[in-house]
């Protein structure tokens, strides 16, 4: 934590800072006033050092939590599938079967091509994003305080509040869109779709190309930034409510009521954002499979 008694600004900045690993340039003066004689890979101490590391820095906490939640998802579904029986299912098996059937029905309604990858991808996205969003319900001070005891100064446990994670997933969807657009329509068909639509005349090729490229590039940005924006705003509200605990008994009790109410409402936001990310992925891949 930024000092034993951090100010409100320091408290918020601390909770919004990632555990960052990257390379500081030679000659950089660190937080303890030591000057680096050569470029050094190290953990950042504070937002200023993280910013100095530039684009090649790694958000260790976001990567670790997203990877760990992905492992939990795979292990849980694999273990249930391995123990599945044709008889009366248990509660966990029944719950997972309901999720699988829900995602399968959604894909059948929205995807009009033939691709065995889309349904498993949609299921993976829905559950993985949901689990990442679900971390937002963990008290904001719990994990950072515990990790402080072992010397970890910064920790963001909600991967979907990191634009690198959300835009990274959106980039993966975008690559699949381009791959299937070229595979289904061919390079010539894909180029023709970009240049001869919506105005089917050679004179409008520059206009068509500009409009289609803007629309194409907007899809991954909107996909990633929508999830990031909603989850970041939700995390910020939890942090602001937590600040009220240091303002006295009355505001602390009021903050507790606000936190419970916001957590209940946020359950809907968490589920809805995972569903929207999954649906848009399916819709974009369906558009990539359409051969006009």
Between vectors from CA 127 to CA 121 and to CA 131, what angle results, nearest 5°?
140
CA–CA separation, 154 vs 15, rounded Å?
A: 7
Judge whether 281 and 125 are in contact, CB under 8 Å. yes
The separation between the first and the last C-alpha atoms of the chain, rounded to the nearest angstrom, is 57
How many angstroms separate the CA atoms of 156 and 228, rounded?
Answer: 14
Which positions are annotated as active-site residues?
222, 226, 230
**Exposure b/e, 7-19, CB count within 10 A at least 16 = b:** eeeebbebbebbb
Six-digit token pair at 203? 């004179």
């Amino acid at each position: 934590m930024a000092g034993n008694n951090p100010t409100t600004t320091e408290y918020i900045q601390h909770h919004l800072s990632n555990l960052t690993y990257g390379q500081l340039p030679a000659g950089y003066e660190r937080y303890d006033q030591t000057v680096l004689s050569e470029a050094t890979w190290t953990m950042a101490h504070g937002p200023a050092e993280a910013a100095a590391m530039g684009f090649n820095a790694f958000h260790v906490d976001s990567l670790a939590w997203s990877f760990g939640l992905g492992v939990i998802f795979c292990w849980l579904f694999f273990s249930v599938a391995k123990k599945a029986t044709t008889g009366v299912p248990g509660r966990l098996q029944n719950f997972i079967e309901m999720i699988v059937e829900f995602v399968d029905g959604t894909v059948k309604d929205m995807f009009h091509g033939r691709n065995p990858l889309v349904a498993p991808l949609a299921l993976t996205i829905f559950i993985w994003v949901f689990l990442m969003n679900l971390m937002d319900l963990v008290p904001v001070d719990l994990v950072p305080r515990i990790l402080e005891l072992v010397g970890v100064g910064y920790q963001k446990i909600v991967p979907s509040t990191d634009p690198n994670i959300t835009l990274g997933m959106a980039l993966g969807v975008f690559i699949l869109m381009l791959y299937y657009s070229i595979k289904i329509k061919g390079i010539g068909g894909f180029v023709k779709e970009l240049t001869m639509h919506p105005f089917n005349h050679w004179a409008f090729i520059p206009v068509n190309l500009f409009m289609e490229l803007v629309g194409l590039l907007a899809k991954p940005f909107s996909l990633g930034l929508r999830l990031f924006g909603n989850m970041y705003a939700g995390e910020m509200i939890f942090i602001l409510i937590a600040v009220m605990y240091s303002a006295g008994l009355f505001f602390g009790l009021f903050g507790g009521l606000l936190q419970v109410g916001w957590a209940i409402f946020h359950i809907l936001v968490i589920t809805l954002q995972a569903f929207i990310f999954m649906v848009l992925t399916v819709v974009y891949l369906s558009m990539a499979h359409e051969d006009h």
